[in-house]
Amino acid sequence: MNEEFIEEFAEVFDVEPAEMNTSFTFDGPESWDSLAIVSTIALVDQYYDVVLKADDFIHCSNFGELIQLAEGKKGS
Amino acid sequence: MPNASIISIASHLPERKLSNEELIEKFPDWDVDKIYKKTGIRERAIVESDQTSLDLAYHSSIKLFQSGVIKPNQIDMILLCTQSPDYFLPSSACILQKRLELPTNCGALDFNLGCSGFIYGLALAKGLIESQQAKNILLITAETYTKYLDPEDRSVRTLFGDGAATTLISSSSTENAIGTPVLGTDGSGAENLIVEGGASRFPDHKPTLKMNGSEILNFTLESIPLCISRLLEQENRTLDSFDYVVFHQANSFILTQLQRKLKIPKNKFCINMQEYGNTVGSTIPMALNRAHLDGEIKSGDEILLCGFGVGYSWGATIIKWP
């Protein structure tokens, strides 16, 4: 996984990069504020070249699921 | 066949400013730097309750005449782009004809578009001039979106500001001074940026702007690179062949994503809305004027323009700076 992506994604959630691993847990759709949503769309587009819909990823339970979603869409 | 050329641009902003410092008093869990870092905006100009888009349009047009570039009696067409008109009817453009004391043989019409409006206005002006229906056109973009904003909706209050720009487009011997535009529409996104209340569908509802920011970002990232590709293919050009690139100045976040995605050199890509925010249809002419004042563009430069937003509606074209 791209380290810069992890670093920038950690910044979105205001945590240290070391904490942002595949088991980093999201606390449900309500935990995503509008800034986190648009930042995630932009970062996934930048590093995976796919445009995810907010409804697709705000239900991910952890960072690993979000990565799978991005990789799956890229491969489709 | 005559060609259409941009001759001059004037703009007008309301006096009252809304700073990031004022916004964090209202929304204390944000900070000044965070708002600026994400939006690229330090302050927005906001109309008073008794000021309208027509007033802003009047002032920007008077500034154009005061510059001496043309006289009012030479104008034979007003194209006024607004989504915040004074009345349902008549058109603001008709009232403006009288306020500016323009001749009665001047055509005048409003058209209802938002952030793509300047590009569509260039397309209309080009058609009217090339078909010899007009010689000197005032293309006016004027909005007071802040009247539609919910005071509690911080995501839109940080972005939008009011303002107007008047662009003089005249018949010219210069070749291709306004290129053939590429236009696009996708009404499936209508509900993602909308003011529903106050018009015929919901006459009893208060007019309030609703924006789904993530859907707008999705639309922008998917549609605008394709729009630019269509233009480059049509013109058989590459992006690096342009002297400067001005996109609709929505906010620095979206612009940075587009600049990166399209691999546009940073020194040729305009990001400048920090003193007035997203003024909708006026962001492109205001940014062009600022870029000229700052020495970023000079006479003869070829500039790629692209507007996009509410509708969804988008368009891109090439101009030669006068």
Bridge partner list, B193: B211
Q: What is the pLDDT of residue A3?
A: 87
Q: How far is A23 from chain B (nearest CA, A)?
A: 25
CB atoms within 10 A of CB B322: 18
Question: What amino acid positions of B are annotated as catalytic residues?
Answer: 115, 248, 278
Rounded Cα–Cα distance for residues B180 and B162 (Å): 29
Query: Is B161 in the same domain as B205?
Result: no
Nearest CA in chain A to B222: A51
Question: B177 in a domain, yes or no?
Answer: no
Q: Which chain A residues are closer than 8 Å to B259 by Cβ? A: none
Measured between CB atoms, does A36 come within 8 Å of chain B?
no
Do B191 and B309 have their domain in common?
A: yes
SS3 assignment, position A74: helix
Query: How many structural domains does chain B have?
Result: 2
Mean pLDDT of B118-123: 98
B218 and B167 housed in the same domain: no
**Would you kindly state where each structural domain of chain A is located, as residue ranges?**
3-75
Residues B112-137, mean pLDDT to the nearest whole number: 98
Instruction: Pull the structure tokens for residue B55.
Output: 């007033």
pLDDT at B290: 95
The answer, yes or no, to whether residue B76 has pLDDT greater than 90, is yes
**Other CB atoms closer than 10 Å to residue B168's CB: what's the count?**
24
Q: Does B2 touch chain A (CB under 8 A)?
A: no
From residue B82, alpha-carbon distances to B121, B140, B281 in Å are 11, 8, 8
Q: Decide if B242 is inside a domain.
A: yes
Return all residues near B11 (Cβ < 8 A) that are at least 6 apart.
B60, B63, B163, B164, B165, B166, B282, B285, B286, B289
Whether residue B147 is found in the same domain as residue B201: no
Q: Report the pLDDT averaged over residues B6-31.
A: 94
How confident is the model over B177-224, as pLDDT tens digits? 999 999 999 999 999 999 999 999 999 999 999 999 999 999 999 999
Chain-chain contact of A53 with B222 (C-beta, under 8 angstroms): no
Q: Is B181 exposed, middle or buried (0-12, 13-18, 19+ CB in 10 A)?
A: buried
CB B245 within 8 A of CB B268: yes
pLDDT digits (tens, 9 = 90+) for B151-169: 999 889 999 999 999 999 9
Structure tokens given for B154:
């911080």
Q: pLDDT per residue over B36-53, tens digit each?
A: 988 999 999 999 999 999
- What pLDDT sits at residue A27? 87
- Is it the case that residue B309 has pLDDT exceeding 70? yes
Q: First and final CA of chain B: distance in angstroms?
A: 19
> Where does residue B101 fall: left (phi above 0), alpha (psi -120 to 50 degrees), or beta otherwise?
left
End-to-end Cα separation, chain A, in angstroms: 19
* Cβ-based neighbour number of residue B194 at 10 Å: 16
Where chain A has pLDDT below 70, the residues are 1
Point out the least confidently predicted range of A10-14, B166-170, B253-257, B285-289. A10-14
CB contact, 8 Å: A51 with chain B?
A: yes
Residue B176, judged by CB atoms within 10 A of its CB (0-12, 13-18, 19+), counts as middle
Q: Is residue B62 part of a domain?
A: yes
Q: Does residue B174 carry a pLDDT above 90?
A: no
Asked if pLDDT for residue B79 goes beyond 70, the answer is yes
Q: Are residues B10 and B141 in the same domain?
A: yes
Collapsing DSSP states into helix, strand and coil, what is residue A38? helix
Q: Is residue B164 part of a domain?
A: yes
Chain A residue numbers with beta carbons less than 8 Å from the beta carbon of B222 are 51
Cross-chain Cβ contact A37/B214 below 8 Å: yes
CB atoms within 10 A of CB B261: 18
- What is the pLDDT, as a whole number, of residue B173? 79
Question: What single-letter DSSP state applies at residue A30?
Answer: G
Pick from A2-6, B9-13, B274-278: least confident: A2-6
Q: Which amino acid is it at B216?
A: I
Give residue B176's pLDDT band: very low, low, confident or very high (50, 70, 90).
Answer: low
pLDDT in tens, B54-69: 999 999 999 999 999 9
- CATH class label, A3-75: mainly alpha
Residues paired with B137 in a beta bridge: B77, B169
**Residues of the domain holding B290:** 182-320
pLDDT of residue B321: 94
| pLDDT tens digits along B201-214 | 999 999 999 999 99
Residues B164 and B44 reside in one and the same domain: yes
Cis peptide before B72 (omega within 30 of 0): no
Interface test with A, best of B188, B193, B215, B217 (most A CBs within 10 A): B217
Contact A41 B214 (CB under 8 A): yes
A45 close contact with B: CB closer than 8 A: yes
Shared-domain flag, residues B28 and B148: yes
Contact B218 A53 (CB under 8 A): yes
Distance CA B241, CA B174 (A): 19
Read off the CATH number of the domain in which B101 is found.
3.40.47.10
Separation of alpha carbons B290 and A72, rounded Å: 44
Kindly state whether residue B76 falls inside one of the protein's structural domains.
Answer: yes
User: For chain B, what is the mean pLDDT?
Assistant: 96
